[in-house]
Homo-oligomer: A and B are copies of this chain.
Amino acid sequence: MTIVGIVGLGLIGGSLALDLRSQGYRVLGVSRKPQTCQTALLKHVTDEASTDLALLGKADVIFICTPIPAIAPTVRALVPHLSSAAVITDVGSVKAPIVEEITPLWENFIGGHPMAGTEAQGINAAQRDLFVGAPYVLTPVENTPARAIAVLEELVGAIGAKLYSCSPQQHDRAVAWISHLPLLVSAGLIDSCLGEEDGEVLKLARCFASSGFRDTSRVGGGNPELGLEIARANREEILRSLARYRQHLEGLFEVIEKEDWQNLEMILQQTESGRKTFGNWSRQKP
């Protein structure tokens, strides 16, 4: 039976552990914090847990579930403990820079991104079935061994996720559009409202803000560390999408300035029908 190692027992790592254990895999967990290891054992999140990466010497597949900046250092620290057949994958939300950095370090590496999560963090937020029906993107490159791909495909299937496969660059460009750009567009909205210098108007705006503002500002008012991590990791694709967004916004500004209502109506008809081609909201938890 495949032995799975997981480094980083937070929301994603812990939830992966729960689901894989429930599917009969043996799961070994590593966390920097002894407290987290204790919780993992107490709550039966993993079969074994340790603060020492040496525990993963017997693992066949290892998921690196740390924050993005810790992924490469973790792989470097892990390598001396592994047999060369072991497959390493990660769950970082950006792929090109990670794949570029890890590929030379470990032959049996394949980048991955399970696109599920909640606002909660840490092992206590870990839950079963977090990935059911959610996209799980694998980003193999030319030299990725077929066996590494096959092993991951099996595990993605085991947790009920929906498998996608694309290049790291395509992944990063797609998530810039639907995840990173929305965050910045939304942050810009809050930022510009706060810049209103008429105190009375700002006060009224605060009182009047309702579901439209609430939803449009949600991701821009989230955890600053997450926004920062994303911007650092996917900087180029974010700048590309932001530049394009700026052009489209300029287009909206111009049609309103020129009172070109026919064109504005056409754009708004396109955004109404276009939005329906994105996502599968019914699958989403509310």
Contacts and interface: CB of A to CB of B under 8 A. Distances in A.
A250 B190 CA distance: 14
Contact of A274 (B164, B178, B190): B190
A269 B204 contact: no
A284 B214 contact: yes
B213 A261 contact: no
Interface string A227-241: 110011001001101
A208 B270 contact: no
A49 interface: no
B221 A275 contact: yes
A253 B279 CA distance: 26
A111 interface: no
B242 A256 contact: yes
Given A213-B279, A248-B188, A272 B181 contact: no
Contacts of A171: 204
Nearest to A250: B246
Contacts of A184: 249, 252, 256
Interface string A242-286: 111111111111001101010011011111101111110100111
A215 B213 contact: no
Given A170-B204, A228-B261, A271 B190 contact: yes
B268 A213 contact: no
A115 B214 CA distance: 14
Nearest first, the 3 A-B pairs at minimum CB distance are A221-B275, A224-B268, A209-B279
Interface of A: 115, 134-135, 137, 164, 166, 170-171, 173-175, 177-179, 181-196, 198, 200-202, 204-225, 227-228, 231-232, 235, 238-239, 241-253, 256-257, 259, 261, 264-265, 267-272, 274-279, 281, 284-286
